[in-house]
Amino acid sequence: MAKRIDTATFCASLLKTLADETRLHVVRQLMDGPRCVGDLNEALGIEQSLLSHHLRVLREAGILTSERDGKRVLYRLAPGVERARSARAIDLGCCLISFDDRRRRR
């Protein structure tokens, strides 16, 4: 019998994956549409090997997908990770993460 994973465990796993600042930046870039490694590398300004590592982690978590386009590999948000309609946010199915550029003042 396959072990069933509960929603809280699944959500915690996704949030752990997204707890890395670089991975959040990658997700924000992909909210605007598919990008190749070169475009992401230029936008984020990190070494390509480090970017490739983060892309692999995000792909393995099911947050993004990749497909070959000639010599390039395009990355995009996975079909299950939908953008919320009303804001710059993604819906992971278990929770909604909003990327609001306004900073809250106390």
- Give the mean pLDDT of 49-69: 94
Q: How many domains does the chain have?
A: 1
DSSP the chain: -PPPPPHHHHHHHHHHHHTSHHHHHHHHHHTTS-EEHHHHHHHHT--HHHHHHHHHHHHHTTSEEEEEETTEEEEEE-TTSEEPSSSSEEE-SS-EEE---SPP--
Residue at 4 is within a domain: no
Whichever domain contains 54, its CATH number is 1.10.10.10
Residue at 18 is within a domain: yes
Range of the domain at 51: 9-98
Q: What is the pTM of this model?
A: 0.81
Residue at 2 is within a domain: no
Residue at 106 is within a domain: no
Task: Please tell me the predicted confidence (pLDDT) of residue 95.
Answer: 82
Residue at 67 is within a domain: yes
Higher pLDDT pick, 105 / 46: 46
